Structure 1
Amino acid sequence: MDYLERAIAPKFNEIKPFSLVEAKTTRLSNNVPLHLINAGDQPVVKIEILIKAGKWFESQDGTSFFTTKMLREGVSEKNSNEISVFLDQFGAFLELNPSADYCNISLYVLTKYLRDVLPLLSQIIFEPTFPEKELVVLKNIKKQSLKLDNEKNNIVGAKLFRKALFGGNHPYGKELKPEDIDLIDQKDLVKLHRKRFFKDVEIIVSGKVDGNDLKLLEEHFGSFNIKTEEESYIQFEPLSDDREVCIEKDGSLQSTIRIGKLLFKKNHPDYIKVLVVNEILGGYFGSRLMRNIREDKGYTYGIHSSIVSLRNEGYFVIGTDVKKDFTQATIDEIHKEINILRNELIGQEELDTVKNYMLGSFLSNVTTPFSLADKFKSIHFHGLTYDFYKDYFQTIKALSAMEILELSRKYLDIDSMTEVVVGGK
C-alpha cells in the first residue's frame, strides 16, 4: 500500500502553453461596441453594460453613485417592486456597480430567458424614472451606511490612504459625505443620466449565446442614439510633504495600517515584473509579510500587498489590521521586509515557488466565461491587447533574482511611501 509522504512538498508541474477564448468585437447599428465571449457549456449568459458615468464625470459629488443605484427603482411601466418580481420569475440577477471610472450594469440570466428580460434591461438603463420616494429612502440608507463605515478603522484607513495619494478633490481620492448626499435631488440624477448614459457605452456578453441572441441585443440596444467624446482628465493636487497620517482613537483595540505609493498603470513596461515583486512581498498566503508578521510574530490574522490598477492611475499598497499595541512593531517589520527585498537576492527556490503560484493561479481563474470576460476587461479598458497575457507568462518565467533586486530598489523606496494609521500607535 502506497502512502503519501506529507513531509515532502509535491514537485512543480511545468505550466504548458495555453490559449484563451478571446472576445470577438462587433458593433451595433448605433456604433456601440459589442464584445462577445462565446464560451461555457451551461446555458447561462452575462450581459454587462459599461458606461463612462463615474466620479470622473460628475459635477456634484455622489450623483454618479445615486444615478446608478436608482436605475432599478422604476421605469415607466414598473415600480421597483414590480421590477424585482419580474426578474425573479426568470431567475435573473441584476447588479448595479458605480465606481470612479464606470457605471457597470450586469445581468445574469438563463439564455432561454434573454428575450424576456432584455426589454426591461434596456428600459432600466435608458428610461429610468428616478422616483423621489425611493431616492429619499436610498439617501437615508447611504447616510446610515457612511456613519457605520466611519466607525470602522479599515474603511477609514482606506479612504484616508487614497486621499493622501490623490488629493481630496480628485475622483480617486474624494470621499462622499452626508452633507453631499443632502444636496442631491431627482433633477441632479436626471441631468447626469441625460449627459452621460447616452455616451461611451460598451456591451460585453459572456456565456453560451448564438446569432439569435445577438439579434435581440441589436433590437433592444441598437436603436438608441449613443455618442462618443474625448475625455478630459483632472490634474492631481500636489502631495503633502508629510507622508504620515495617524488618527488616534482612544477606544480602539486595533489599528489599521496602510503603506504605499503612487505607481503606474497596467500599460507600463515594468508592470508585470513588479507584480512578481509584490507577490514575493505580500501578494499571497506564503508571502514574506505573511510568514513574518502573521506566522512568526502573530501580530495579525492577515497582511497583504497589492498593485491596484485603476483606469487612469495605479498604486501600490500594503494593508493590515493589528492589535493597537503592535502597531509600531508591525510597521517596523514591514520596513524590514522591504529593505531585505531591496538589499538581498531572493533564493531560486522561493522565486520558482512564486512564479509557479502566479502562473497556476492565472490558469485556474480562466475556467468560466465570466472569468474570461473579466480578463478581457482587464486589458481592454487599459488599451491593451491579448498579447499582454502572452507577455505575462513569458516575462514571469524569464524574470531573474537580480531583476527582482533592481526593481525593488527602483520602486520600493520606503521614503517615497505614504503611511496611514487609524487607531493609534
Structure 2
Amino acid sequence: MIHPQPVTPASVDVARAERHQLPNGATLYLLPADEFEVLRVSFVFRAGSAVQQAPFSASTTANLLSEGTRSMTAQEIAEQLDFYGSWYDVNLDRDYAYINFAMLSKFAAETLRIAAEILLRPTFPEEELRTYCAKRRQRLEIDRTKVDVEAREAFAAALFGARHPYGTSSPAEAYDRLTRGEVEAFYRRFYTAERCIVVCSGRIGPTERAAVEALAGALPRGTESSAAAFPPIETTHDVRVAHPGAVQSSLRIGRLLFPRQHPDFVGMQVVATALGGYFGSRLMQNLREEHGYTYGVVAAMVNFEREGYFAIATQVGTDVTQPALEACYAEIERLRTEPMPDEELALVKNMMAGEMMRILDGPFGIADVTIENILCGADNGIIDENLRRIRAMTPADVQRLARKYLAREELVTVVAGDL
C-alpha cells in the first residue's frame, strides 16, 4: 500500500473576532458559528497568581466563585447547571483566571442567569472556604511528595528566582492562614470590568448576544492601575532536590527566553518540536526507543504575559539519571552542530500544522486560540502568519536558533530524586 504524502496547509483562514468595547470598560469578542447549537462564554480576568499578595488567594477566589452566592447555594448552582446540561469550568495560571460557561444555545438565558450569580454575587462562605483550604492543603502536601512536582517547582524558582511571582511557591500551611477577607478583597480588586475580556463563541443570536452583553456590562468598574513591578529575575543554572528513596528522577532542562510576541518564538517552537514535541522526536527516539530510559519526554516553549521559556521534562530511573541528562544535552548539541535533514524538518512542520488544525476544529477550540491571541496583543490573522513562518523554516534556520539560544552554559538543569 502506498500512503499519500502528508501536505502542510498553505494557509489557514480563521475568522477574526468581532470586538466590542462595553461602557463599563469590559471588552467583548464575538465568534459566531451558527452551524452549531451550542454557546460558550469565557470570562478572562487578569487575576492570576502573579498578582496575589496573600498566598493561594488567586486560586481560592476563582474556585470559590460558585460555592455560594447571595441567592443560591453551591448545591443549587450545581443542580441548576446540571438540569440545563450546562458546563462550568475554572482554570488559573500565573497571569489570568479563566471562567468558562458552555451551554446549549436554547438554554443561554437560563445558564447566563446562573453565571451572573457566580460572577457578580459570590459570598465566599466561611465554611466552604475552610473546607476548600483543608482539601487543597492535603492535596498539595501529597503532590509535593512526588519528584515530578518537586522538579517543576524547583525549575520555576531556578528560572525566575524564588521571590519572583513566576518562580515562587508557597508552603502548604499558608492555606490555614488564608482568610475570607483576603479572598473577598482579591475578588473586589481583580474581578472588574477593566481587567476582563469576554469571548463568546457558537450560535449567537440576537437574544443570546443581548444576554451576554448584559452580563459582561454588569461587571463592576474598578481602578485599573499600571502593572506591578516584579523583582529582578535571579536564575540558578544547576539545582538538585534530594528525595531519598525515590525510584525515579524527574529532570528539567531549559532556559529563560522570551514571550510569544518575540520574532523568534515560532522558530523556537519548531526547535522544541524537533527535540521533544511529538512521539518520533529526537529525545523520544534517544531516551525511550534507543535506551529505554523513560516512557516519555517532552520539549516545549512556554508563554507567560511578561516572560517565556524553553523546557524539556522527563522522568527516568534513578540509576540512569546521569546518562539521561547527557543524552538530552547530546541531542541539543546535535541540533546545534548538524543541519537537520530536510525530510525530518518536513515531518516536524506537518506535525505542527496538524496539531494546529486539531486545535482549530470547532468553535470552542477557535475560541481558545482567539483568547490566547488576544492576550498576546494579536488577532486571529496571526495564525496564518505563524503557519507561514513554520513553512518557511529551513535546516539552517533551525541550527541557527539552536546555536543562538541553546548553548550548554546557558541551560538551567534541575534534578529531583535520590541523589
Which TM-score band applies after superposition, normalised by the shorter structure?
Answer: over 0.9
Superposition pairs of residues 187-336 of structure 1, within 5 angstroms: 187-198=181-192, 199-227=194-222, 229-240=224-235, 242-336=236-330
CA distance in 2, matches of 1:359, 1:254: 34
Superposition pairs of residues 17-96 of structure 1, within 5 angstroms: 17-39=11-33, 41-96=35-90
**Structure 1, unpaired ranges of 5+:** none
Corresponding position: 1:396 with 2:390: yes
> Equivalent of 1:106, from 100, 105, 123?
100
CA distance in 1, matches of 2:44, 2:316: 38
Letter in 2 for 1:417: L
* Pairs aligned (count): 418
SS of the equivalent of 1:352 reads helix
Judge conservation of contact 2:134–2:176 (CA < 8 Å) in 1. no
Alignment match, 2:368: 374
**Structure 2, unpaired ranges of 5+:** none
Shift of 1:267: 0.5
Corresponding position: 1:351 with 2:329: no
SS of the equivalent of 2:207 reads helix
SS of the equivalent of 1:72 reads coil
SS of the equivalent of 1:213 reads helix
Judge conservation of contact 1:293–1:300 (CA < 8 Å) in 2. yes
Shift of 1:16: 3.6
Letter in 2 for 1:201: C
Change in 2 beyond 3 A, CA 1:106/1:57: same
When structure 1 is superposed on structure 2, of 374-383 and 260-269 the one drifting more is: 374-383
SS of the equivalent of 1:364 reads helix
CA distance in 1, matches of 2:365, 2:212: 21
Judge conservation of contact 2:8–2:353 (CA < 8 Å) in 1. no
When structure 1 is superposed on structure 2, of 386-395 and 108-117 the one drifting more is: 386-395
Corresponding position: 1:179 with 2:173: yes
> Equivalent of 2:407, from 382, 401, 413?
413
Shift of 1:264: 0.4
Shift of 1:57: 2.3
Q: Percent identity?
A: 31
Change in 2 beyond 3 A, CA 1:151/1:94: same
CA distance in 2, matches of 1:218, 1:229: 21
Judge conservation of contact 1:69–1:98 (CA < 8 Å) in 2. no
Judge conservation of contact 1:40–1:369 (CA < 8 Å) in 2. no
Alignment match, 2:127: 133
Change in 2 beyond 3 A, CA 1:402/1:253: same
Judge conservation of contact 1:299–1:322 (CA < 8 Å) in 2. yes
Change in 2 beyond 3 A, CA 1:17/1:196: closer
CA distance in 2, matches of 1:14, 1:34: 33
Shift of 1:122: 1.2
SS of the equivalent of 2:118 reads helix
TM-score (norm: length of structure 2): 0.96
Letter in 2 for 1:172: Y
Judge conservation of contact 1:201–1:226 (CA < 8 Å) in 2. no
Letter in 2 for 1:374: D
Shift of 1:306: 0.4
CA distance in 1, matches of 2:14, 2:288: 36
Change in 2 beyond 3 A, CA 1:221/1:360: closer
Over 4 Å off, 4+ runs: none
> Equivalent of 2:137, from 130, 133, 143?
143
Change in 2 beyond 3 A, CA 1:172/1:397: same
Letter in 1 for 2:298: H
Letter in 1 for 2:287: I
CA distance in 1, matches of 2:94, 2:252: 21
Shift of 1:22: 2.1
| Cα deviation 1:286-328 (Å, max 9, x = unaligned) | 1100011111111100011000011111001000011110110
